[in-house]
A and B are shown apart, each in its own frame.
Chain A
Amino acid sequence: MTIAVSEPRLTFRQRLAVREIDGVSLLVVPALLVVIALFVYPFLYGVILSLQPMKGGGLFANYIAFFSDPYSYNTILLTLNLALPVTVFSLVLALPIAFRVRLMKRQRILTTILVIPITLGTVLVADGLLNYLGPQGWFNRVLLAMHLIAHPLRMTHNYWGVFVSLLITGFPFTFLMTLSYVSGVDPALERAGATLGAGAARRFWHIYMPLLVPGLAINFCLSFVQNFSVFPSAELLGAPAGETRVMAIAAYEAAFQHFDYSMGSAIAIIMAIVQLVIVGLVLAGRNFFYRGSTTGGKG
């Protein structure tokens, strides 16, 4: 026997909820389409393009060519040689400053000053530095006037020009992220450490560091990826044919000077793989640390 029960009609969201889908999560769809169109599709297109060498010779001919020419494969080391020290240096610089700024009342002024280099863009900073750090620039003139040096220091068209430029444009970003991680650690933890007999150095290493490592690892990855894809400052301030011939320059030359898009794509894919390896290593290392809340109990 069947009993006719008039079932109330479910709304669209209720029907989604029955399948354990929150209706609000559908809002992610437009963003997902944009990501697919602007990121996933070009990336896959680049992969396929890199596997269709212009000069023929099998699927991996471009990759084989890249790794058999020292002028090409050395760009990996040159790029790492720039990106890793700059990233580490700006993190090491950002930490103590963040610890001090955390205690300041007028953080906003400092933040504003620091954000300005980000808004200027790398080309303008590179151009400015070209003058400022050049043989006739203020930097050398001041040092000469103070009799600290006898001859102008060579700071442009070499490694150090690119290093300084990357540091200036990347530091605010690194610093602001570090500041937010440092401020996120409950200050009561440090006070508790002090009453238990830990001096400043031991409070830093035993309490702050273990809680900051996961955040600093993310911070490292984001800064590293930015620095690794350096192009304008390496071209303008560096020696693009020599010690700062980074991978982005090699890819650019292949694609737009030799008109070998396939080779250019292959170099871009190799760049992505190197970045993924470094980021993967850092994130894997992060798993050895505590990654939960950084407060000491109920707030």
Chain B
Amino acid sequence: MTIASSRFDTLALEGIGRSFGSVNALHDVNLTIKRGEFVALLGPSGCGKSTTLNCIAGLLQITTGRIMLDGKRIDTLRPEERGFGMVFQNYALFPHMTVRQNIGFGLKMRNVAKDEAARRIEEAVRLVRLQGQEDKLPGQLSGGQQQRVSIARAVVIEPPLVLMDEPLSNLDAKLRLEMRAEIRRIHNTLGATTVYVTHDQDEALSLADRIVVLRDGTIRQIGRPSELYEAPDDVEVAEFMGFRNRLEGRCVSNGAGLVRLETDHGVLTGRARHSLTDGAAAVALCRTEDLCVAATGADGIRATVDAVEYRGREFVGSAHTPGGTQVTFRSEHETELGKDVTLVADPQRVLIFQARRGN
């Protein structure tokens, strides 16, 4: 394999911000990316993740802060001078050029010699497994194939950084899983450094070495996938990472790092993510798959079953507490609708946060 990523050590975003008129789309983002890393920018739509990516690529000017590549300032350079490869959500293939011409465009712009370019194009085509399609126009390819061309076009120029803007969101579910594995394989093969924008936490968890969670234009948490999955820093990050059940109450200290939360309709024990004093208002968060139906009389949350869905190996039900809070739970057996149940969870799987004002 002779296509490789250009050498660099770190890319540093130093307090970058971007405002559109009076709207702050991005505020004080600090992030250092090391060579070879796969970093996912994760967040709901409008959180600033695509803005961050476009600022790195140079397609958007930053309004505060600076971007440094190995100590050299690059935020003043135009996108064509930065030389990062970018994969777009809608592929952005040149419709009037064949697959070969699309992949070769960046090489042509760099005045790479013809036979050298031909060799690298061939290799890129092999890397994304599109042999035999070189002379087709993008319009003659399927969505998945188009995205492969787009990836080949971005990596063939051997960029220090490959930027991907929700590259899988236009593909169907099956193809998405397939391409996800492909992207990780290509990243590993090339030893590339990838910044990947997504709103899909599964995608971020399975692909990234490090996940950056953004919300309202600021970084909320940076961590390894397992850290984010198991120990989110705040309620919003937790909710975004799939902690769908949220119960409010007052905490009663219980020692050993575990805290008991008393709600109006039962109790729940969990790990405290903030230091909490006795009697303080607190919120417990727990995933659907960790909340299950207990034998009657057990210590848990009382709720009435509203609906049950069959999921193959198990059932997923939704219920409401007498106070009207909606919860979802897992169950091995079908549960009767309208039945009153007690729901419990492994204390290690429940996170307790301090309740914020206005929360």
Contacts and interface: CB of A to CB of B under 8 A. Distances in A.
A165 B343 CA distance: 83
Contact of B88 (A191, A197, A292): A191
A194 interface: yes
B209 to A, nearest CB: 23
Given A195-B84, A197-B106, A297 B157 contact: no
A299 B157 CA distance: 26
Interface stretch (B2-10, B75-83, B215-223, B238-246): B75-83
Contact of B92 (A189, A197, A199, A293): A189
Interface string B288-320: 000000000000000000000000000000000
B15 interface: no
B170 A202 contact: no
A191 B88 CA distance: 9
A197 to B, nearest CB: 4
A194 B59 contact: yes
Interface in A185-225: 186, 188-189, 191-199, 202, 206-207, 210-211
A206 B93 CA distance: 13
Contact of A197 (B110, B138, B139, B143): B110
Interface centre among A188, A192, A206, A290 (most CB of B within 10 A): A192
Contact of A196 (B58, B109, B146): B109
Interface in B107-145: 109-110, 137-139, 143
Given A195-B79, A197-B80, A188 B96 contact: no
A191 B79 contact: yes
Contacts of A296: 88, 90-95, 138
Interface centre among A186, A210, A294 (most CB of B within 10 A): A186
Top 5 A-B pairs ranked by shortest CB distance?
A297-B91, A290-B96, A196-B106, A296-B92, A188-B92
B235 interface: no
Contacts, number: 99
Interface residues of A, number: 27
B95 A188 contact: no
A198 B109 contact: yes
10 contacts: A189-B95, A191-B59, A191-B88, A194-B79, A194-B80, A195-B79, A197-B110, A296-B90, A297-B91, A298-B146
B153 A298 contact: no
Interface of B: 57-59, 78-80, 82-86, 88, 90-96, 105-106, 109-110, 137-139, 143, 146, 150, 153-154, 157, 163, 170
B94 A207 contact: yes
Contacts of A298: 90-91, 143, 146, 170
Given A296-B95, A297-B170, 7 more contacts: A191-B59, A194-B79, A196-B85, A296-B92, A297-B90, A297-B146, A298-B90
Contacts of A183: none
Nearest to B108: A206
A111 B17 CA distance: 35
B210 to A, nearest CB: 23
A189 B139 contact: no
B95 A196 contact: no
A202 B88 contact: no
Nearest to A214: B96
A198 B96 contact: no
A295 interface: yes
Nearest to A196: B106
A195 B95 contact: no
Contacts of A290: 95-96, 137
A194 B58 CA distance: 9
Interface centre among A189, A199, A294, A297 (most CB of B within 10 A): A297
B90 A295 contact: yes
Contacts of B59: 191, 194-195
B84 to A, nearest CB: 6
A299 B90 CA distance: 6
A165 B86 CA distance: 48
A207 B96 CA distance: 8
Contact of B80 (A186, A195, A289): A195
Contacts of A289: 96
A194 B146 CA distance: 19
A105 to B, nearest CB: 11
A188 B165 CA distance: 12
A298 to B, nearest CB: 4
Contacts of B170: 297-298
B93 to A, nearest CB: 5
B80 A198 contact: yes
Given A197-B110, A296-B138, A192 B94 contact: yes
A7 to B, nearest CB: 43
A186 B154 CA distance: 18
A207 B109 CA distance: 12
A290 B137 CA distance: 10
A186 to B, nearest CB: 7
Nearest to A293: B95
Nearest to A202: B109
B88 A294 contact: no
Nearest to A186: B92
B105 A294 contact: no
A292 B141 CA distance: 14
Contact of A195 (B86, B93, B96, B146): B86
Contacts of B146: 297-298
A221 B88 CA distance: 36
Contacts of A297: 88, 90-93, 138, 143, 146, 150, 170
A169 B104 CA distance: 44
